[in-house]
Structure 1
């Protein structure tokens, strides 16, 4: 495929969706194929989210998925969007991503989030090994990870005055690019205070983007690595050859969001056919319509124009899309034509 220079630059956020009848192995096969296509088309990054115990989401372990993806791609940056830090000991995160950086130097992004990203039961199971990464300790642990991954490592200081050196990897020659993710003032302000890149999670947060981005830019403290603010935004995107198909392919994920927000039992992502056969109830329909207003859905030129405007409005040169196109029952379980054509058609327009 021909690599294209896109304006704005495009990246991909992948939750590794699992549809009706699909196995985890089949879902992973489709995501790795999507990552290879993104690499060939000239997308800037490919990030995996962290979610646990969800029937429709197979991105439980971003470091594992990143390791598999960098071996199948050539130039695209690969990372986490993000690692939910309260679930993990900082040293473990540092070790994982220092190893990934050694595996693919200059291509690894470590996106860190403050929310657990799971229900209370799963949160406790994740912490049974003794993790102390509580959300209120997030700022300290972000800085700990950055030190641990660097060539000089970190130093533990005891009350006795003794010290103990700790390295995430024996001989680092570089570090992953660390990003803070969020949809609140807290993450924006912390990223600014630490002089780190920041990503606003517009794909699931409908409000607050203007305030968060403004706070980040106004309060940014230049660091050695980042003398100026670095930021982009995320968006749910579905592109198809025509508007009708795009609207249909958006339905499964829209209904999945509606079920989540109305506290209904979660299940695998339905096919387009299942949604059309089983119309939504009034609450689901209302929530779907609300979410649809924030999505970018349609034929290529229309969505490309909307994304350009979106990027200009928020002063960014990059948009990370969550390709949210659903599947038809007739489509193979080990392929993802809807998500694939979203990337291909959009890249051709930008």
Structure 2
């Protein structure tokens, strides 16, 4: 097998019978396992007001992970910038970089990531017009994170310097995330590393990466395009077991896409007994065909072929295995097992040390 770096995208799933604290504890254990296995990055997404997702505040939760891991890179996948003041994000990630120097990524997305009510609660202005200011806000964050800070000209004509941290020794690595042509083109134009959200739908990846690479302009951050892929993955000892473990997340996504009121994730046993509508069954089948679900050797080979097809050397997996009723509430053993099985077939130690 060729060298292929593995990373993790975590939404901190909440299942039936878990508290938010249990879900966070399970993700801390998963991050610790990823660190021990030599995986490259561990990113947390930003979602709000969802009963099945506890990753509401990436900077706070990344601070927890920074204290529980040793070498793995930690980051946001991503911070939804229209929800936040750029200066606040710059300060938060400057503080994380100070606490975990050389291993912090700031992944930024343009979508609000929630409904208009939640967006209004997150932003004191109560509107989403800052989506239009996305490019300038990225530049603001870049400047604020730098050692020299950003210069403002006050109404009096006076120059005023603003820094995200008083004495920066390093800066987080800035990534642009997206699922559209807009984000791919902007990342290329700004000379930033870019990640297309392949795990969302499994479509449009080739076009987005071609657009990013063709529009790329070298910058002080990067002299050539840099990207990796994201994928939903469930690996197990047998294909049958992997498909069984994938059911809770697959069914949950089908309910989301058909407008069904959402709850915490089902256990595997509850998912096996669930009654779905015909549209939901069709969605489950379609998504399962696009995810990487199966016996570990097969999943590994498919991930390598996936990376080779798009000419990348890193894949960020969202470990989508569910939990059984017998699993401890503060762990998700099947998610940890997915990482262990893949790392055994794609050794990460040499990559992590590089």
TM range, smaller chain: over 0.9
Instruction: Identify the residue that residue 213 of structure 1 maps to in structure 2.
Output: 209
Instruction: Identify the residue that residue 144 of structure 1 maps to in structure 2.
Output: 140
Instruction: Identify the residue that residue 193 of structure 1 maps to in structure 2.
Output: 189
Greater relative contact order (CA < 8 Å, ≥ 6 in sequence): 2
1:300 and 2:307 matched? no
3-state SS, counterpart of residue 238 of structure 1: strand
Q: Deviations over 1:140-173 (max 9, x none)?
A: 0011001101100001124553221101111111
Q: Deviations over 1:55-86 (max 9, x none)?
A: 00000000011111011111100000000000
Structure 1 length-normalised TM: 0.96
Instruction: Identify the residue that residue 17 of structure 2 maps to in structure 1.
Output: 21
Gaps of 5+ in 2: 347-354
Alpha-carbon distance between aligned partners in 1 of 2:128 and 2:118, rounded to the nearest angstrom: 15
Instruction: Identify the residue that residue 233 of structure 1 maps to in structure 2.
Output: 229
1:283 and 2:273 matched? no
Gaps of 5+ in 1: none
Q: Report the more deviating stretch, 190-199 or 157-166.
A: 157-166
1:153 and 2:149 matched? yes
Go from structure 1 to structure 2 and tell me whether the alpha carbon gap of 1:213 and 1:146 turns closer, same or farther (over 3 Å shift): same
Kindly state the Cα deviation for residue 334 of structure 1 after the two structures are TM-superposed.
1.2
3-state SS, counterpart of residue 293 of structure 1: helix
Kindly state the Cα deviation for residue 205 of structure 1 after the two structures are TM-superposed.
2.9
3-state SS, counterpart of residue 335 of structure 1: coil
Please tell me whether the aligned partners of residues 120 and 126 of structure 2 are also in contact (alpha carbons under 8 angstroms): no
Instruction: Identify the residue that residue 325 of structure 2 maps to in structure 1.
Output: 329
Alpha-carbon distance between aligned partners in 2 of 1:130 and 1:164, rounded to the nearest angstrom: 28
Instruction: Identify the residue that residue 272 of structure 1 maps to in structure 2.
Output: 268
Alpha-carbon distance between aligned partners in 1 of 2:46 and 2:322, rounded to the nearest angstrom: 20
Go from structure 1 to structure 2 and tell me whether the alpha carbon gap of 1:133 and 1:144 turns closer, same or farther (over 3 Å shift): farther
2:344 to 337, 342, 348: 348
Instruction: Identify the residue that residue 74 of structure 2 maps to in structure 1.
Output: 78
3-state SS, counterpart of residue 286 of structure 1: helix
Please tell me whether the aligned partners of residues 185 and 215 of structure 2 are also in contact (alpha carbons under 8 angstroms): yes
Kindly state the Cα deviation for residue 129 of structure 1 after the two structures are TM-superposed.
6.1
1:175 and 2:175 matched? no
1:316 and 2:312 matched? yes
Instruction: Identify the residue that residue 36 of structure 2 maps to in structure 1.
Output: 40
Q: Which 4+ runs in 1 deviate beyond 3 A?
A: 129-133, 158-161
Please tell me whether the aligned partners of residues 88 and 131 of structure 1 are also in contact (alpha carbons under 8 angstroms): no
Q: Deviations over 1:206-265 (max 9, x none)?
A: 321111100111110011221011100100000111011100011110011111111111
Please tell me whether the aligned partners of residues 311 and 318 of structure 1 are also in contact (alpha carbons under 8 angstroms): yes
Alpha-carbon distance between aligned partners in 2 of 1:133 and 1:91, rounded to the nearest angstrom: 17
Kindly state the Cα deviation for residue 7 of structure 1 after the two structures are TM-superposed.
2.6
Kindly state the Cα deviation for residue 133 of structure 1 after the two structures are TM-superposed.
6.8
Alpha-carbon distance between aligned partners in 1 of 2:83 and 2:2, rounded to the nearest angstrom: 36
Alpha-carbon distance between aligned partners in 1 of 2:255 and 2:127, rounded to the nearest angstrom: 31
3-state SS, counterpart of residue 74 of structure 1: coil
Alpha-carbon distance between aligned partners in 1 of 2:287 and 2:10, rounded to the nearest angstrom: 19
1:93 and 2:84 matched? no
Kindly state the Cα deviation for residue 115 of structure 1 after the two structures are TM-superposed.
0.3
Please tell me whether the aligned partners of residues 183 and 205 of structure 1 are also in contact (alpha carbons under 8 angstroms): no
